[in-house]
């Protein structure tokens, strides 16, 4: 292709992308850079002092409360990811291999509906389910010879948060795994069995490695929003088990220490990025095995 | 035999997904203020209280305004991005698209907080307008994902045929491309509308004193007295979401059929 033709196409493409790009630059890139800049500023009374300092990071990284909250966020997000992905895999496998082609869209539709119903209400429903006078306790009390509220209060702890979040993000995990499974060439599986592998070994040595990119994608899609979740620690944790989002919010608004809040937000983003890169690196290794 | 076990598991899994949501209508019509069994009897009082509530009505109007505007803006901007990414090659395409799609992998609290800091620093007062700005930003990647599917399935030769027959760039777009991607546009509008209607974090931090449906619900959940009304409201919202999604799915399938693709199902 000649050079001027490419230039014309490039110009057209750039003109075409500019409205959404300018929007994203103004309302996403600029705010993120502002946060980054704030995290190196000093906090004054009612204002931010524009003087470079690393104090915010020093304070944050040496603060035992920050350690505890960050560790809790990572542990909760990891547990939720593990539970969601492990539970979702058989469903995705079933969808891809056992459901007839014309019924697949209906199954996917059924799985996505709960995800689009108000997140806030779904989280709140778990509060109602697990509360001392809640659905589970009152249902079990209906059985003969069971005392009032046999399980007591099941809220305000990490387990309750994990159950709630795992339920909230379940459909997220199914879709990427399903897409990866759909891409698998079915003749490879037949070849595996023709060469004398058992069904289980074919699954272990052919299906699972080929599905791995989908599993990694599912892991990321669940992990990232979970670690930054604000509502569940607030409602299900009752404010007693804050996660990083709650700590960022408290510093930004209630304590009015924007530089500190920014430093916490940036640190959280860095940790999320590192974990994501580890997952992506694992994915690359699996892809290499494939070639 | 093997797939029988899997089917049972998949059905149980679906039951687990739906069980909490089924509690909504159950307790929305239950004649008792505590959300617990046994059920007390049938009542429509909670729906009555819901309709009579002035703040709720205001929150509903606000949410509708925000969702409609954000859906329109996100879809318009999404059309530009989807068209650019599927039809043209240009320098810096990957980082540009990466930035635009970034909200998909960024915790919402970060988006909300950074926007809030900038808005306060620039001195823009918080209102439903600022919520619209934020919602457009987070709806855009979803709109682009849907629209890119619609645009990428276009046959380039149709467009070239239109040029050969004497159409201009704009008239070819309007007469040939737009009708073909219309189902994708409708689907993107509905999807963005649903996302914005349900979104809590950004609305919570950027709305100032204006209530939206999710922030109003959040403020009421602290009071046990108003929980049954929230169950009624939740029921209405779920029914509304399901209706919207069914329409969106209908248009998506029609789009798939129109451009002659194989149906792979699903939104994402």
Return the structure tokens found at A55. Answer: 């104090």
**CB-closest option in B83, B91, B242 to A16:** B83
CA distance B247 to B239: 12
DSSP chain B: -HHHHHHHHHHHHHHHHHHHHHHHHHHHSBS-SS--SSP--B--HHHHHHHH-HHHHHHHHHHHHHHHHHHHHHHHHHHHHHHHHHH---TTHHHHHHHHHGGGGS-HHHHHHHHHHHHHHHTPPPSHHHHHHHHHHHHHHHHHHHHHHHHHTS-HHHHHHHHHTT--HHHHIIIIIHHHHHHHHHHHHHHHHHHHHH--HHHHHHSTT---HHHHHHHHTT-GGGHHHHHHHHHHHHHHHHHHHHHHHHHHHHHHHHTT--------
Asked whether residue A10 falls in the same domain as residue A106, the answer is: no
Is the per-residue pLDDT at B99 higher than 60? yes
Task: Flag whether A48 is in a domain.
Answer: no
Nearest residue of A to residue B169, measured between CA atoms: A12
- Picking from A76, A242, A237, the residue whose alpha carbon sits closest to that of residue A156 is A237
CA distance A163 to A165: 6
CA distance B73 to B136: 6
In whole angstroms, how far apart are CA A176 and each of A85, A99, A211? 10, 17, 9
Nearest residue of B to residue A256, measured between CA atoms: B117
> What number of other Cβ atoms are within 10 A of residue B23's Cβ?
19
Asked whether residue A14 falls in the same domain as residue A82, the answer is: no
Asked whether residue A224 falls in the same domain as residue A284, the answer is: yes
Q: Do the Cβ atoms of B113 and A109 come within 8 Å?
A: no
Mean pLDDT of chain B, nearest integer: 86
Kindly report, residue by residue over A222-278, the tens digit of the pLDDT: 998 899 889 888 888 887 888 999 999 888 888 888 889 899 999 988 988 888 888
Nearest residue of A to residue B246, measured between CA atoms: A109
Interface contacts A/B by beta carbons within 8 Å: 255
CA distance B30 to B232: 10
Give the model's confidence band at B91: pLDDT under 50 very low, under 70 low, under 90 confident, else very high. Answer: confident
Residues of B in contact with A5 (CB under 8 A): none
Task: Flag whether A3 is in a domain.
Answer: yes
Is the per-residue pLDDT at A19 higher than 90? yes
Return the structure tokens found at A199. Answer: 């069904």
Task: Flag whether B12 is in a domain.
Answer: no
DSSP A250-265: IIIIIS--HHHHHHHH
Q: Do the Cβ atoms of A170 and B84 come within 8 Å?
A: no
- Picking from A127, A155, A131, A120, the residue whose alpha carbon sits closest to that of residue A231 is A120
Kindly report, residue by residue over A103-113, the tens digit of the pLDDT: 888 888 888 88
Residues of A in contact with B149 (CB under 8 A): none
Is the per-residue pLDDT at B14 higher than 70? yes
CA distance A281 to A203: 23
Task: Flag whether B231 is in a domain.
Answer: yes
Give the model's confidence band at B69: pLDDT under 50 very low, under 70 low, under 90 confident, else very high. Answer: very high
Backbone dihedral angles phi then psi of residue A49, each to the nearest 5 degrees: -90, 120
**CB-closest option in A111, A121, A134 to B217:** A121
Domain that holds residue B63: 56-86+101-259
Q: Do the Cβ atoms of B114 and A31 come within 8 Å?
A: yes
Which CATH number do you get for residue A285?
1.10.3720.10
The conformation of residue A291, written as its DSSP 8-state character, comes to -
Tell me the whole-structure pTM to 2 decimals: 0.85
Q: Does B84 touch chain A (CB under 8 A)?
A: yes
Residues of A in contact with B36 (CB under 8 A): 133-135, 137-138
Asked whether residue A257 falls in the same domain as residue A113, the answer is: yes
Residues of A in contact with B263 (CB under 8 A): 105
**CB-closest option in B21, B24, B137 to A28:** B137
CA distance A88 to A181: 13
Which pLDDT belongs to residue B266?
Answer: 46
Which conformational region is residue B34 in: left (phi greater than 0), alpha (psi within -120 to 50 degrees), or beta?
beta
What percentage of chain B exceeds 90 in pLDDT?
A: 33
Asked whether residue A164 falls in the same domain as residue A30, the answer is: no
CA distance A127 to A139: 15
Nearest residue of A to residue B105, measured between CA atoms: A224
CA distance B188 to A29: 24
What A135-138 contacts at long range (C-beta under 8 Å, 24+ apart), as own/partner pairs, is: A135/B23, A135/B35, A135/B36, A135/B37, A137/B36, A138/B36, A138/B37, A138/B38
Asked whether residue A224 falls in the same domain as residue A107, the answer is: yes
**Tokens 């599986």, located at residue:** A189
Is the per-residue pLDDT at A146 higher than 80? no
What is the longest distance spanned by two Cα atoms in chain A? 85
Task: Flag whether A131 is in a domain.
Answer: yes
More confident residue, A115 or B230: B230
Asked whether residue A131 falls in the same domain as residue A104, the answer is: yes
**CB-closest option in B9, B115, B237 to A90:** B9
Residues of B in contact with A229 (CB under 8 A): 107
Q: What's the structural domain count of chain B?
A: 1
Q: What's the structural domain count of chain A?
A: 2
**CB-closest option in B83, B114, B230 to A35:** B114
Residues of B in contact with A169 (CB under 8 A): none
Domain that holds residue A101: 54-290
Q: Are A211 and A177 in contact (CB under 8 A)?
A: yes
Q: In sequence order, which residues have a C-beta less than 8 Å from that of residue B109 and are 6 or more positions away?
A: A228, A230, A245, A248, A249, A265, B201
**Tokens 């043209």, located at residue:** B88
Give the model's confidence band at A2: pLDDT under 50 very low, under 70 low, under 90 confident, else very high. Answer: very low
Task: Flag whether A44 is in a domain.
Answer: no
More confident residue, B261 or A183: A183
């Amino acid at each position: 292709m000649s050079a001027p033709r490419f230039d014309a196409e490039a110009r057209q493409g750039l003109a075409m992308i500019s409205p959404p790009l300018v929007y994203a630059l103004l309302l996403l890139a600029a705010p993120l850079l502002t946060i980054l800049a704030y995290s190196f500023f000093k906090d004054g009374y009612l204002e931010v002092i524009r003087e470079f300092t690393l104090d915010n990071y020093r304070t944050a990284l040496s603060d035992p409360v920050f350690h505890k909250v960050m560790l809790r966020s990572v542990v909760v997000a990891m547990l939720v990811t593990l539970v969601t992905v492990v539970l979702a895999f058989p469903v995705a496998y079933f969808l891809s291999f056992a459901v007839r082609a014309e019924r697949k869209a209906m199954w996917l539709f059924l799985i996505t509906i709960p995800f689009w119903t108000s997140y806030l209400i779904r989280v709140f429903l778990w509060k109602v389910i697990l509360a001392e006078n809640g659905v589970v306790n009152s249902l079990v009390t209906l059985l003969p010879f069971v005392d009032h509220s046999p399980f007591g209060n099941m809220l305000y702890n990490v387990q309750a948060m994990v159950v709630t979040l795992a339920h909230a993000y379940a459909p997220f995990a199914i879709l990427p795994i399903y897409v990866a499974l759909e891409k698998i060439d079915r003749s490879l599986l037949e070849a595996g069995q023709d060469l004398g592998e058992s069904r289980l070994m074919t699954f272990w040595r052919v299906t699972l490695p080929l599905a791995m990119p989908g599993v990694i994608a599912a892991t990321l899609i669940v992990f990232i929003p979970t670690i930054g979740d604000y509502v569940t620690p607030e409602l299900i944790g009752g404010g007693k088990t804050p996660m990083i989002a709650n700590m960022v919010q408290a510093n930004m608004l209630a304590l009015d220490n924007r530089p500190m809040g920014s430093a916490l937000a940036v640190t959280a983003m860095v940790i999320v990025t590192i974990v994501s890169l580890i997952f992506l690196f694992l994915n690359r290794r699996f892809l290499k095995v494939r070639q | 035999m093997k797939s029988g076990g899997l089917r049972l598991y998949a059905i149980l899994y679906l039951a687990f997904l739906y069980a909490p949501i089924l509690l909504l209508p159950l307790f929305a019509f239950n004649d008792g203020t505590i959300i617990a069994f046994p059920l007390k009897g049938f009542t429509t009082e909670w729906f009555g209280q819901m309709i009579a509530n002035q703040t709720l009505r205001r929150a509903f109007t606000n949410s509708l305004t925000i969702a409609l505007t954000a859906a329109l803006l996100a879809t318009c901007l999404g059309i530009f991005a989807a068209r650019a990414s599927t039809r043209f090659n240009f320098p810096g395409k990957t980082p540009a698209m990466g930035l635009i799609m970034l909200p998909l992998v960024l915790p919402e609290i970060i988006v909300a907080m950074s926007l809030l800091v900038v808005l306060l620093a620039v001195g823009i007062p918080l209102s439903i307008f600022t919520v619209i700005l934020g919602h457009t930003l987070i709806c855009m990647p979803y709109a682009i994902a849907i629209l890119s599917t619609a645009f990428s399935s276009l046959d380039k030769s149709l467009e070239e045929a239109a040029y050969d027959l004497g159409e201009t760039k704009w008239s070819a777009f309007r007469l040939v491309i737009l009708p073909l991607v219309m189902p994708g546009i409708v689907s993107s509008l509905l999807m963005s509308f649903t996302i914005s209607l349900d979104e809590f974090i950004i609305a919570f931090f950027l709305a100032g004193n204006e209530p939206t449906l999710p922030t109003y619900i959040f403020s009421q959940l602290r009071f046990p007295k108003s929980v049954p009304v929230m169950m009624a409201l939740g029921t209405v919202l779920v029914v509304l979401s399901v209706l919207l999604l069914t329409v969106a799915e209908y248009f998506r399938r029609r789009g798939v059929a129109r451009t002659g693709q194989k149906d792979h199902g699903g939104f994402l």
